[in-house]
Structure 1
Amino acid sequence: MIESDQMTGTHVRQGGESGMPRITAVETIRTPLQPNVTLVVLHDDAGQSGLGETFYGSSSVEAYIHDVAVPLLAGNKAPTSPSSTSRLLSGYVGYSGSGSEIRGNSAIDIALWDLLAKRASMPLRELLGGPTRERISTYNTCAGNDYVNAQSRQSSTNWGIGSGAGKRYEDLEAFLTRPGELAKELLDEGYTGMKVWPFDLAAEASSGDHKTSLDFGLRVLGEIRDTVGDAIDLYLELHSLWTLRGAERLVRALDSFDLAWVEDPLRADHAHALHSLKQSTSIPIAVGESIGGGLSPYRSLLESRSIDIAIVDLGWSGGITAGLKSASIAEQYGIPIAPHDCTGPVSLAVATHFVTSIPNGYVQEVSRAFYHGWYQDIASGLPEITDGWITPAASPGHGVVLLDEFLASPSTIRRISHF
């Protein structure tokens, strides 16, 4: 029998015939602080819990988890493991892309890995094979406090400019209006990399046309370089908004800026177009955060030699279980992995454990506006950022613990299914 309500707590039941602790409840948690985030808690019969997370469409993810995933988990008699659970939750439809099924399954997978690491009393990356490095460099993605907060879409209408008035780290408004000053501020704070997206407005207005004006974006990049020279690594986000001809014209105009990469100039499923674009520029091309789940989703990009860096979002692509497979395949092609952030505290923590445990980990994205802002309002145990480097927590699991005051807040939406 499955019981679903708005209450919370751990339903304790003795272990199954195998003597292994088993999942007895699945909880989802949502918050108006960031309406796109869905936190997922797996409770077991030993009184422990694992915490996962995904981003976008939180109400649809919540519905999928309680209406579809919970009955499957409740009826499962096999020992719970990430690989068996991944197979169990892989449906006839919705097994690829980044739809609600994949996002929900990703959060469950992350929570399960966290739970297993806690059961083993070891940091998550030890369970993943041990660290290949103790820490990894970061770059600041220049979002503001309320970036992508009002809607479940990536659009300039969802940038949140002005809504964070009076708060620190309004970095999106800063890169649009005082980019050189922001670059210097980041360097002074220890960051050696920054990511901006000043061409999005032109792309949105023209549907990525090859004739649109590039002047504003070029001025932003030029002011950064004029102010700090090559002291900072400059990453350019393009949000898959361009046509092939528009992207080719843009990268030609970017040659003199010594960019660390251009990210998602075209849709990730346009492998042949990306290959063509790659032939027209020496700027590294990074692609993949929105690529979703499925079997070896990066393979077409890797086989066609269309990308230089693979961006991975574990909360959108099947979780840690799928991420380890993608990283292994990318390593065979000599392609480094750079995890996505700018979503939530669990995703950042898990990505940091992941990227420091794989041999081809490259760099970790962070958003200081989120890290020093709403992440701190809901959780403790975040990875440590010092002088532009990030280090995972040493506590069991991924380290992130939701704050009691956040969980007790009347505005926090909690739903739990016992079985």
Structure 2
Amino acid sequence: MNTDIKTPTFTKYFTLAFLLLFIFGGAQKKFTIVLDAGHGGSDHGSNRSYPDIGYIAEKDITLSVTLKVGRMLEKDKDFKVIYTRKTDVYPSLTERTDLANRSKADLFVSIHVNANTKTSPYGTETYLLGVAQNNTNLNVAKAENEVIYLDAQDRQRFASYDPTSPESLIALKLQQARYREASTILAGFIEDQFANKDKRLSRGVKQENFHVLRMNAMPSVLVEMGFISNYDEAHYLASEIGQNEISESIYNGIMSYKKAYDRRGGSVAATPAPEKPAEQPLKNDFRILLMSSPSKYNSGDPALKGLNYVLPIKEGNLYKYYYANTNLASVRDNNLKTAKDAGFKNAVPIGFVPNQKLGSGYYTIEVAATKDKLSSNSYAVQTLKDKLIREKVNGVFYYTYGNAKSLEEAIDLQKDLDKKGIQNTVIQKVVK
């Protein structure tokens, strides 16, 4: 008899407890974010080899940063983090987007590394789905989209897709419109973190037709953390310090988005992020003066602390070493930070008036400075012949070539010598 009485009572309270748990616990949906470490497995992505750090690949950097971001997010009970990969494997683009859609994710963040084969740019970019704005963006998209040919399912889904057809553009704009505002806001938060917290050059929020974004039914962005093709930035991307700073910036950007999402009751698409006005060029070009020294250092010398794009200019008995060149204030400031971070604590920006001709004096190219005369059979003497001027000062033979009125003309002369195989020359400013 006692058992018959207790059973319905127990069932009643158990049912009530289950309903309360469902209403107040189960109904609390966690904010789900899919973190996508770009490339993986046999797809190395962008990669480079450098003498001092060896081989570095995009797939390794993206995985490391993605896991760091994920670990920070997982400390917050409001987040559910889903990874497209946690090891060195290659999930197809189809698998990545299908995973995000099945999970009914609130955000999709794909993490990548940039590269350029012709020039050596640097800085961060964050992309959302959209129509190509310029050829540079298009080249980035082509590089990231090439992975569709690694997987049969991707080839079937994406390879016949023509992004320039009217049908594709209509479909793209419909998909873009649905999540564009939220994606723009997330991208803006991430780029602001890169620029303001890490003091890096933000190349801005951009749009492009990335396959990995196009099939997602949620706000989605693709983060390009920097250029592995840039020597200085490659070192930063490969370093523990760099990866920690990058992951914190992406994490902070996501958290800023989540706060805006919560404030607006589950939507951040109320007001689009204001577009930043295009930065206006300065009147002068700016180079960073690293140091002045009586010693001449060739490219790659340890005294230059691993910095590339260093231009030595000799004035009197001193060699002045200038790093990089720009007419944008943000890039100038970033170059100065790079120089100071490398160890040149007294580095300062110096302004140069573009194409300014010297009122008196000229620029020439110092080809060699030796205690002994160059042999008549030396390559420089044989190549330049009577155009090479020799002068002996304090027991040293100085060999110079050419005459230019502006620094730009002198740089062109120096480049011509490089093409002829005469390297490690120095521009010399002769004042009369």
Same fold at TM > 0.5 = no
Scaled by the length of structure 1, the TM-score of the pair is 0.22
Radius of gyration: which is bigger?
Answer: 2
The structure showing larger relative contact order (alpha-carbon pairs under 8 Å, at least 6 residues apart) is 1
Structure with greater strand percent: 2
Q: Return the structure number with greater helix share.
A: 2
**TM-score between both structures, scaled by the size of structure 2:** 0.21
